[in-house]
Structure 1
Amino acid sequence: MEVAVGLVAQRDNERAQALAREIKTTLEEVQSASVDIVVDELTGEAIDDAGVSVDRMHDRDFVVSIGGDGTLLFVAREVGPTPILGVNLGEVGFLNAVSPADAVDAVTDLVTAATEADSLEGRTLSRLTATEADGDWELEPALNEIVIHGPRRGHGGGATIDVRVDGRRYVESHADGVLVATPTGSTAYNLSEGGPIVQPSTDALVVTQMAAADAMPPLVVDPETPLEVTVSGAETAYVISDGRNRQRLEPPVTVTVSLANDPITLVGPQGSFVDGLEKLE
């Protein structure tokens, strides 16, 4: 059985690109008959090799993300449910458990496992999606959080944000916005807005207001709970997935936040969540 592997290195990071070259060369030398390896286009340019766009790696047996959590978020957006191995070149690395020194061995072990099994075992991480109540649009899935905010952050830039949980009003207040985070995203934007840290294996979502005039404590809910956010009192607003994919809103408008159909799967060695917390400032 031939194992198809994708390698994605952090943009403009020579260390990540060099590691991608090392992994590719080692696999081709050691397991040339059983592995088919491609790198992303920018890495290909840097190491003088043919490359493909990351979204074309969705049919690989697994994809290796080399960089920080931001690189892995990008890879997850592009390849969806394709298993991902994260190599950590960042500081915290909640999603990237493999050190650069262990990367070649970790990828080699995964190739061997993929050769011997129909699928790779790993840790499943939920993603979120946002849709307008009338179904006109659906935002790309978010691994960390969905943020809904007024025209801008800060004085004079908020909106009236009405949050309903299972059809009942949780809070209505003038606020910069509100975010709904997965356990994975609890250590990201959610944490900076005063939300709680949630253990990754917890089956829950977190609803956290952003600079609300009449604030309620952050709320932890069952992930299947219907969540609706209505924005009014502003000329425009935005809903954003993982800080990147954005949809402009024309209030008054109601946005539904729910679990996406396709989670992502992290494969390979798993890091210690508690040890990672020590790196947070």
Structure 2
Amino acid sequence: MDVDVGIVAQRGNERAQQLTEALLDVLESDSVAVAVDEETGDAIDVVSVPVTEMADSDLVVSIGGDGTLLFVAREVGSTPILGVNLGEVGFLNAVSPADAVDVVTDLVDRLRRGDPLERRTLERLRARGDGWTLEPALNEIVVHGPRRGHGGGATIEIRVDGTRYADGHADGVLVATPTGSTAYNLSEGGPLVHPTADALVVTQMAAEDSMPPLVVDPGAELELAVTGAETAYAISDGRNRHQLESPATVSVSLAADPVTLVGPRTNFFDGLEKLE
């Protein structure tokens, strides 16, 4: 069968661009249809497409750090993604640059034969309110006051399946997936969650009268009710945000479209050793 591959390289990274060129040479010589993201295409002088158009590909290769893969996941939805790690920790990117060509060509051969790829799905979160919905978050949803620090928080009540868990003044509240437990959640004192765990974590941020971080079933309906501030924000993966006018309620639940990763798996515990 014909195979279409998309390649997205970390912006401004020469190593990522060079690896893109190496993959292009090998794949195109094997009659594979390859699409490259626009910025990389400009850098290496090849035809390119918007990343959103790679959603119809059989495989998208993300070359960079976890941030690059987060960007790719936002753009291509449930299309299978292979992460090549140019970062330090790389919880999402299991493939080293030295192994990238071999791993990609092996996956392409499997797709051509019609062999099933080993896939794993990563749940995403969706935040919504009165008339608005944020793009899905692979790491976390954060609701916080007008700014972090003294005088900048808000009163945020946390409700789980309609029952109050915590209520008080805080810089904000963070809801993380297992994938996101090693990111912002960890820096705010939340627990590490093994990537195979079926759970979400709710962590208060600099609360005046804090409760411990709470691990909940991923099917739980979470509501974050904001009062006591003129304005507040709901933010998805540190990128997409919606400004709130207090009082406001943000509902957080699993998104319908998880991210699909293929190829080798990362070693979670090896990654923890690289955390600062």
Tell me, yes or no, if structure 1 residue 222 matches structure 2 residue 217. Answer: yes
Tell me, yes or no, if structure 1 residue 207 matches structure 2 residue 202. Answer: yes
Shift of 1:121: 2.8
TM-score of the pair, normalised by structure 2? 0.99
Q: Which residue of 2 aligns with 1:8?
A: 8
Q: Which residue of 2 aligns with 1:137?
A: 132
Q: Structure 2 CA distance, aligned partners of 1:138 and 1:236?
A: 17
Q: Structure 1 CA distance, aligned partners of 2:231 and 2:112?
A: 52
Q: Is the 8 A contact 1:127 1:263 kept in 2?
A: yes
Q: Structure 1 CA distance, aligned partners of 2:144 and 2:46?
A: 43
Shift of 1:119: 5.2
Shift of 1:115: 1.1
Q: Which residue of 1 aligns with 2:63?
A: 66
Q: Structure 1 CA distance, aligned partners of 2:12 and 2:178?
A: 30
Given residue 125 of structure 2, which amino acid in structure 1 is its aligned partner? L
Q: Which residue of 2 aligns with 1:26?
A: 26
Q: For 1:133-191, what per-residue CA distance to the aligned partner results, in whole angstroms no more than 9, with x for missing partners?
A: x3x01100000000000000000000000000111100001000000000000000000
Q: Which residue of 2 aligns with 1:113?
A: 110
Tell me, yes or no, if structure 1 residue 233 matches structure 2 residue 228. Answer: yes
Q: Which residue of 1 aligns with 2:45?
A: 48
Q: Structure 1 CA distance, aligned partners of 2:70 and 2:242?
A: 18
Match of 1:124 among 121, 124, 134: 121
Q: Is the 8 A contact 1:83 1:120 kept in 2?
A: no
Q: Structure 2 CA distance, aligned partners of 1:279 and 1:90?
A: 11
Alignment of 1:243-262 (within 5 A): 243-262=238-257
Q: Which residue of 1 aligns with 2:80?
A: 83
Please identify runs of 4+ aligned residues in structure 1 that moved more than 3 A.
none
Alignment of 1:163-202 (within 5 A): 163-202=158-197
Q: Structure 2 CA distance, aligned partners of 1:121 and 1:15?
A: 27
Q: Structure 2 CA distance, aligned partners of 1:162 and 1:258?
A: 16
Given residue 210 of structure 2, which amino acid in structure 1 is its aligned partner? A
Q: Which residue of 2 aligns with 1:162?
A: 157
Shift of 1:117: 2.1
Q: Which residue of 2 aligns with 1:100?
A: 97
Q: Structure 2 CA distance, aligned partners of 1:222 and 1:213?
A: 26
Tell me, yes or no, if structure 1 residue 273 matches structure 2 residue 268. Answer: yes
Q: Structure 2 CA distance, aligned partners of 1:272 and 1:79?
A: 25
- Structure 1: gaps of 5 or more residues: none
Given residue 150 of structure 1, which amino acid in structure 2 is its aligned partner? G
Match of 2:142 among 126, 147, 151: 147
Q: Structure 2 CA distance, aligned partners of 1:57 and 1:187?
A: 28
SS at structure 2 position matched to 1:46: helix
Q: Structure 2 CA distance, aligned partners of 1:205 and 1:22?
A: 39
Q: Structure 2 CA distance, aligned partners of 1:74 and 1:12?
A: 15
Percent identical residues: 73
- 1:37–1:190 CA distance, 2 compared to 1 (3 A): same
SS at structure 2 position matched to 1:58: helix
Given residue 155 of structure 1, which amino acid in structure 2 is its aligned partner? H
Q: Structure 1 CA distance, aligned partners of 2:114 and 2:219?
A: 32
